[in-house]
Structure 1
Amino acid sequence: MVAHRLTVIGTGYLGTTHAAAMAELGFEVLGLDIDEDRIARLAAGDLPFYEPGLPELLRRNLAAGRLRFTTSYAELAEFGDVHFLCVGTPQRQGENAADVSFVDSAIRSLVPLLRREALIVGKSTVPVGTAARVAGLIGELTSENVELAWNPEFLREGFAVQDTLHPDRIVAGVPSAAAEKILREVYAAQIGEGVPFLTTDYPTAELVKVSANAFLATKISFINAMAEVCEATGADVTKLSQALSYDDRIGGKFLGPGLGFGGGCLPKDIRAFMARAGELGVDQALSFLREVDAINIRRRHRMVDLARDLLGGSFDGRGVAVLGAAFKPDSDDVRDSPALDVAAAIQQQGGVVTVYDPQANANAARAQPSLSFAASTAEAARGADVTLLLTEWREFRDLDPEALGTLVAVRNIVDGRNALDPERWRAAGWTYKALGRP
């Protein structure tokens, strides 16, 4: 089999994970970023973000010589046969649409330097239609035989290594049999394990990721909409969710009621999807996503309301312990974090807020520098009038209500993730409240 040499453009969460995982599979891999400090850290084996299992993968493959990093597009062009495009596509400032300028910049930087046949493989989440436009741009920039494929990523933060090495499917939007052949060779190990390999056109490949995220966001917001109904009727949304999960047409995944979703993917992807549908003249097809987004935001407001009610209607001067800042456990990502939004909103209403997260304190402090941060659960909870569980880290799920009760001023807790046993906490003298539960 051809021993392709791989490059990865962009060493954020996606790019670093992909580079290290492909090196683990035996490929020679060269990663590129224009951020010199980031490249220096990665080259030294220092991961700039938290992802379980990835530091070991990074250091092992650096030591083996299969993985290197650079800031030089010229070096990248000389080295690689297959170039994976893993740059960010953030939400445009003041708009819902995705910013694909980093995609265009990478293409313009790399393609004119290519001196032989190559395959560029887009992994970034982009608006449908981007791949066809980029393929045209490549044709304008070079006379070499350079093809473009689109191969969306399906990484879950906290499980990214597993999802790269052992994905549940591989989708490849390819323009030719030659491009498909190369990708089958690159992913031979996964295909050999029985992972489905689906070939599609460009638009279908682009739509797979955003469609999946839109569906998952809808499922999360559905159960949280039911939580609103449960609060109005005295029903218990956790029992409702459990009953629904036994229906194999529905299933229990992403049916956990609580504070809702955040992070760098679901919120911005569904908004960009809506924006692109509007550009294509089919905005009515995705109008339901506006309510999905609105339900998600309402959960944050409701969390603030529950905490305020426990304090008699005012946060002024009251101590508030916030457990969790990352948008989900096993991550230090605070982008669009519901937990951080709630903490900031309570502080703006006069609460004396102290936040603790096992991994995300530093990122949270950069995002919300006016908040106070603690080095432990005990430090955050000491003297608190109300405690909020907002990210379901295991150490929070396993808290001893009696031990925590000796630290707080008042035994009030709001469980934003429905992660605790209400009876156990009430038996320990806590006033327990949760979203969607009586």
Structure 2
Amino acid sequence: MSRKITVIGTGYVGLVVAVGLADFGNHVIGVDIDENKIENLKKGISPIYEPGIEEYLTRNLNSGRLKFSTEIDKAIQESEVIFIGVGTPPKENGEADLSYVFDVAETIANNLNDYKVVVVKSTVPVGTNRKIKEFIKEKSGTDNFDVVSNPEFLREGKAVYDFFHPDRVVIGYESEKSKEIMEDIYRSLYLIQTPFVWCNLETAEMIKYASNAFLATKITFINQIANLCEAVGADVHKVAKAMGMDGRISPKFLHPGPGYGGSCFPKDTKALVEIGRKNNVDMSLVKEVINANEKQKERMVEKLEKYMDLKDKKIGILGLAFKAETDDIRESPAITIINKLIEKGAKVIAHDPKAIENAKKIFGDKIDYVDNEYKAMNDADALMIITEWNEYRNLDLEMVKKLMKGNIILDTRNVLDRKKIKEMGFVYEGVGR
């Protein structure tokens, strides 16, 4: 049966969840305090760049199953299920900031007019769902509700696809009533035989952190192997391919590069270390992953310095987003790399198909921005590819040669044909090759 659902927060997670649940046939209200964002969403304009999102947004708005509002109290009162999808940014010490989550929990407590299922989608430290339950119970004076932990595993740039084709759905629950309601909500995924993992609240919370920390570890591992390949004369791509053929290892996330970034891995690895510290468990491996990842970003600038003194040099940057198919630059390797270049006295000219407006919020006028990849290399002493956008894979090398003043190309994603580039007289530097 169709359920009445409110999704609080319309960022990456909240918006994808809202359109996805509406597409499953539920009646969904997406709620946010940002009036401008809500007005745009009502018109079918997404606040984020995410392939496929506006098509689903328009379709479900037109069907009447999806609405957006700033009236949070009314939305909660009218709904049976409340999804919390607000941010949990890192504090200075790496611990997750839960203030937004508990602000929402208080609002829910003030509007418990009937039985509700409170579903926590936000990534929260182990033990938080139980604290939310106690907090709402204390504030509302009733226990006529259930709290469910339902962590998300959405990849930015593939979030819409991932919502409809998940590897698994993890649900931490305590009552059979809440389990039945969650089964109802996700019935469409049952029909395509998606695996469901039913567990307690703490296990669901831990699955999210453990998954992200493991993937971050895998990226960091192949980056360190890539660095060693450079030193000994091996090819990391062949190494990674052969490793990936082992069913126990798999080829996913074995792609060398300038380090991981984004809204999840940096935040969640730091939070996991902090959870370990609070529980007297040494997360030494994850700590080293965090350190090694930062060094990998800095190493990209050191690679360039082998060829030139960066002072007063013009460096063309291709890619600002932390990965392709997103406009998100949170913790992007490009930020560390560009800041280092500026520190060394270089002049930076940057291009990205989607992330320039977000980059301006960070760099302001410290760097120049261009609307075309070839403008970024005009008169450049060196060119750096930082994000693996498809349009950078097939650059017109004759044009590149004509435009650049220097001949150094640092391809941090290994997207270019090394042999072809060297034949044209460029000095090519990849990662682990």
Alignment TM class, shorter chain as reference? over 0.9
> Is 1:433 aligned with 2:429?
yes
Aligned-partner residue type, residue 294 of structure 1: N
- TM-score, structure 2 normalization: 0.97
Q: What are the Cα deviations for residues 56-79 of structure 1, in whole angstroms up to 9, with x where unaligned?
A: 111221122211111112211222
**Which residue of the partner structure matches residue 423 of structure 1?**
419
| 1:404 aligns with one of 397, 400, 404 | 400
| Residue 333 (str. 1) matches residue 328 (str. 2) | yes
Corresponding residue SS for 1:249: coil
Establish whether residue 375 from structure 1 lines up as the match of residue 375 from structure 2: no
User: Does structure 1 retain, via aligned residues, the 8 Å contact 2:24–2:186?
Assistant: no
Which letter does structure 2 place at the counterpart of 1:91? Answer: P
* Matched residue, 1:272: 271
Tell me the alpha carbon deviations over residues 310-333 of structure 1, each in whole angstroms, 9 at most, x when there is no partner.
22xx11111100000000000000
* Deviation string, structure 1 residues 159-215 (Cα, Å, up to 9, x no partner): 111111221111110011111000000000001100011110010000111100000
Partner of 1:139: 137
Answering whether residue 386 of structure 2 is matched by residue 390 of structure 1, we say yes
Q: Deviations over 1:330-380 (max 9, x none)?
A: 000000000222122102211111010000011011111122111110111
Q: In 2, distance between residues paired with 1:421 and 1:239?
A: 15
* Pairwise CA distance, 1:144: 5.5
Residue 292 of structure 1 corresponds to 289
Match of 1:244 in 2: 243
- Distance in 1 (alpha carbons) for counterparts of 2:107 and 2:252: 41
Structure 2 residue 347 is the aligned partner of structure 1 residue 349: no
Question: In terms of mean alpha carbon deviation, does 99-108 or 70-79 score higher?
Answer: 70-79
Task: Look up the match of 1:34.
Answer: 33
- Distance, in Å, in 1 between the alignment partners of 2:73 and 2:297 is 47
Give how far 1:36 is off. Answer: 1.6
Q: Which residue of 2 aligns with 1:88?
A: 87
How many residue pairs were aligned?
A: 431
Find the aligned partners of 2:430 and 2:372 in 1 and give their Cα distance: 23
Residue 236 of structure 1 and its aligned partner are, at CA, apart by 2.1
Secondary structure of 1:267's partner?
helix
The residue matched to 2:306 in structure 1 has which SS? helix
The alpha-carbon deviation at position 274 of structure 1 amounts to 0.4
State the distance in 1 between where 2:109 and 2:401 align.
Answer: 61
* CA–CA separation in structure 2 for the residues paired with 1:368 and 1:278: 34
- The separation in 2 between residues aligned to 1:412 and 1:365, in whole angstroms, is 26
| Aligned residue runs from structure 1 range 125-164, under 5 A | 125-142=123-140, 143=142, 145-164=144-163
Residue 43 in 1 paired to residue 42 in 2? yes
Q: Secondary structure at the match of 1:121?
A: strand
Contact 2:329–2:358 (CA under 8 A) maintained in structure 1: yes
CA–CA distance in 2 between the matches of 1:216 and 1:166? 19
Q: Is the 8 A contact 2:83 2:121 kept in 1?
A: yes
Given residue 386 of structure 2, which amino acid in structure 1 is its aligned partner? L
Tell me the distance in 2 between the aligned counterparts of 1:216 and 1:126.
18
SS of residue in 2 equivalent to 1:406: helix
Query: Partners in 2 of 1:421 and 1:162 — Cα distance?
Result: 30
Aligned mates of 1:141, 1:322 — CA distance in 2: 52
Please say if residues 321 and 329 of structure 2, whose CA atoms lie closer than 8 Å, have aligned partners that are also in contact.
Answer: yes
CA distance in 2, matches of 1:309, 1:131: 50
Distance 2:430 2:226 in 1: 10
Query: What secondary structure does 1:310 align onto?
Result: coil
Structure 1 residue 49 displacement after superposition:
1.3
Question: Aligned equivalents of 1:287 and 1:55: distance in 2?
Answer: 42
Q: Please tell me the root mean square deviation across aligned C-alpha atoms, in Å.
A: 1.1
Whole-Å separation in 1 of the counterparts to 2:144 and 2:223: 50
Amino acid at match of 1:55: E
Matching residue of 1:124:
122
Aligned identity (percent) is 39
- Cα distance between partner residues in 1 of 2:244 and 2:195: 26
Superposed CA deviations along residues 103-129 of structure 1, whole A, max 9, x for unmatched, are 100010122212111101001110001
Q: Is the 8 A contact 1:326 1:340 kept in 2?
A: no
Q: Contact between 2:109 and 2:137, CA under 8 Å: does it hold in 1?
A: no
SS of residue in 2 equivalent to 1:11 = coil
Q: State how far apart, in whole Å, the 1-side matches of 2:413 and 2:97 are.
A: 32
Q: Which residue type is aligned with residue 69 of structure 1?
A: F
Instruction: State the distance in 1 between where 2:407 and 2:398 align.
Output: 10
Structure 1 match to 2:359 = 364
- Assess if the C-alpha contact under 8 Å between 1:343 and 1:355 holds in 2: no
Partner of residue 101, structure 2: 103
1:149 & 1:59 partners in 2: Cα distance?
Answer: 29
Name the aligned partner's letter for residue 58 of structure 1. Answer: L
> Which segments of 5 or more consecutive residues in structure 1 lack a partner in the other structure?
none
The CA distance in 2 between the partners of 1:424 and 1:245, in whole Å, is 27
TM-score by length of 1: 0.96
1:309 equivalent to 2:306? Answer yes
The letter for the 2-side match of 1:83 is: I
Q: Secondary structure at the match of 2:61?
A: helix
Give the counterpart letter for 2:355 in structure 1: A
Question: Which deviates more, 364-373 or 135-144?
Answer: 135-144
Any gaps of 5 or more consecutive residues in structure 2?
none
Deviation track 1:213-252 (CA, whole Å, cap 9, x = no partner) reads 0000000000111122222222222221122112111111
The answer to whether the 8 A contact 1:115-1:144 is kept is no
Instruction: Confirm or deny that 1:223 pairs with 2:218.
Output: no
Aligned-pair CA distance for 1:429: 1.4
| Alpha carbons 2:18, 2:29 under 8 Å: kept | yes
* Residues in 2 aligned to 1:368 and 1:242: alpha-carbon distance in whole angstroms: 37
Q: Distance in 1 between matches of 2:349 and 2:299?
A: 20
> What CA distance in whole angstroms lies between the structure 2 residues aligned with 1:141 and 1:175?
20
